[in-house]
Amino acid sequence: MQRWEYKVVRRQRDVGSVWSVDMVDVLPGLGDEGWELVAVEPRSDTTDFAGITTSDLWIFKRPLEPA
């Protein structure tokens, strides 16, 4: 049975609407390392602006090497 390892990249948006991580810069390197994007989960970390995405989780997986 195939086993997987997972990696989560969390980005946050600051007051000026700038993301803490530029995924355009990060994705090529993750792909070179064998990571595959599984999901992006938007989050709202504040109750002041409910429904506004203030952070997100980028979830990746790759095959786990047999021991």
What pLDDT is recorded for position 65?
80
For residue 5, what are the CA distances in angstroms to 22, 28, 32, 39, 42?
23, 18, 16, 14, 22
What pLDDT is recorded for position 40?
96
E-state strands within the chain = 4-12, 36-43, 55-63
What pLDDT is recorded for position 18?
85
* pLDDT, tens digit, 9 for 90 and up, residues 22-66: 999 999 999 999 999 999 999 887 766 667 788 899 999 999 987
Please say whether the beta carbons of 57 and 40 come within 8 A.
yes
What pLDDT is recorded for position 50?
65
Domain that holds residue 41: 4-63
Domains of the chain: total: 1
Residue type at 62 in one-letter notation: R
Please say whether the beta carbons of 58 and 9 come within 8 A.
yes
What pLDDT is recorded for position 29?
96
* pLDDT, tens digit, 9 for 90 and up, residues 5-22: 999 999 988 766 788 889
